[in-house]
Amino acid sequence: MFMHNKRLMYTVRVSETNPALATLMLEQFGGPQGELAAAMRYFTQALAEEDPGRRDMLFDIATEELSHLEVIGSIVAMLNRGVKGQMAEAAMNEAELYLAANQGGESHTTSILFGGAPALVNSAGVPWTAAYIDSIGDPTCDLRSNIAAESRAKIVYERLINVTDDPGVKEALGFLMTREVAHQKSFEKALYSITPNFPSGKLPGRPDFADKYYNLSQGPGDQQGPWNSGEQWERVDEPEDQMAVDGGDGEATVQLSAAEEAALLAMKSRLASTVTDDPITGADLGAGPGAGTTTAPDGSGARRN
Ligand code: MN
Ligand code: MN
């Protein structure tokens, strides 16, 4: 069950209203690296988790992310609180009100469409979507995804901290940013508590391909590093050795039933191109200046337009 405590996880003290800053903060409310995405990612993972320790951790962190959602949403609400009242009460003349709402980014949309409430959109007004959650139900995959998500959330908070000089906002964002660092550490420990944890799943990789590095982009800028050279790698530079690496002919084939084959041959024959004809087309008939070389309408040969 969920319960709600009226005290925030971190005190929100905003010095002055600022609708443009509010729209930037929406990135962490309804954006892909935001708190709702984080909460839903860990909550759904927790529901299906079999390991009691990981299940407990995922519920703890999912609930903390919901608490972060409340903090960042409160920051948005406080930053919009000035224009919200002015808009609702038409407290200024039209031009002043227009300027107050339209301070940059999506601030006018937030003010007019959402009445200054934090909406589940990102800073560009794109609606939140469950497609932000990429869980796959394998803990080694999902923990790696969670680690990456926490590192991205940390960076977005860092950028948001860098665009505001409001000390209260900076401080609350600094708390949220730091908690993402802590979550990354927990997820890393949980990942490495599973041994082995690489590769994911149960099927082993095929040994003849697991250590190959295919140098498929060749030319100036070719570089060597520990990711493609050295003792653990077998570099494949020769283009001929990069094709049909199984030793086969590199063709795609399938066994067809007699009925399937007959239908395909009929389709092939019906749609076959006649390469000996040079038909007059609509482009030839209508050609004017700029059309380039086309066939003369009487089929007499090339026409330059
Ligand atoms: Mn968070
Ligand atoms: Mn987090």
What is the CA(180)–ligand 1 centre distance, in A? 6
Helix axes of 81-89 and 94-101: crossing angle, nearest 10 degrees: 150
pLDDT tens-digit map of 122-163:
999 999 999 999 999 999 999 999 999 999 999 999 999 999
Q: What type of residue is 268?
A: K
Please tell me the distance between residue 125's alpha carbon and the centre of ligand 2 in angstroms: 23
**pLDDT at residue 3 tops 90:** yes
pLDDT band at 202 (very low <50, low <70, confident <90, very high): very high
Gap from CA of 156 to ligand 2 centroid (Å): 12
CA-wise closest residue to 38 among 182, 199, 193: 182
Span from the CA of 257 to the centroid of ligand 1 (angstroms): 56
The ligand whose atoms approach the alpha carbon of 186 most closely is 2
- pLDDT at res. 110: 83
Q: How far apart are CA 219 and CA 243, in angstroms?
A: 18
Ligand nearest to the CA of residue 65, numbered in listed order? 1
Burial classification of residue 220, based on how many CB atoms lie within 10 Å of its CB (0-12 exposed, 13-18 middle, 19 or more buried): exposed
Ligand 1 midpoint to CA 172 (Å): 12
> What number of other Cβ atoms are within 10 A of residue 145's Cβ?
18
Boundaries of every domain in the chain: 19-192
Separation of 111 CA from ligand 1 center, angstroms? 25
| Distance of CA 195 from the midpoint of ligand 1 (Å) | 28
Q: Per-residue pLDDT tens for 247-281?
A: 999 999 999 999 999 999 999 999 999 999 889 99
Q: Could you tell me which residue, 302 or 220, shows the higher pLDDT?
A: 220
- Which of 87, 148, 145 lies closest to 112 in space, CA to CA? 87
DSSP letters, 115-176, are: TTPPPSB-TT-PBP-GGG----S-HHHHHHHHHHHHHHHHHHHHHHHHT---HHHHHHHHHH
Distance in Å, CA 180 to ligand 2 centroid: 4
Could you please state the CATH topology (level 3) that the domain comprising 19-192 is classified under: Ferritin (1.20.1260)
Helix or strand or coil: residue 295?
strand
Mean pLDDT score, 72-81: 97
Instruction: Kindly list the protein residues that place their beta carbon closer than 5 angstroms to ligand 1, a single-atom ion.
Output: 35, 65, 68
pLDDT, average across residues 172-194: 98
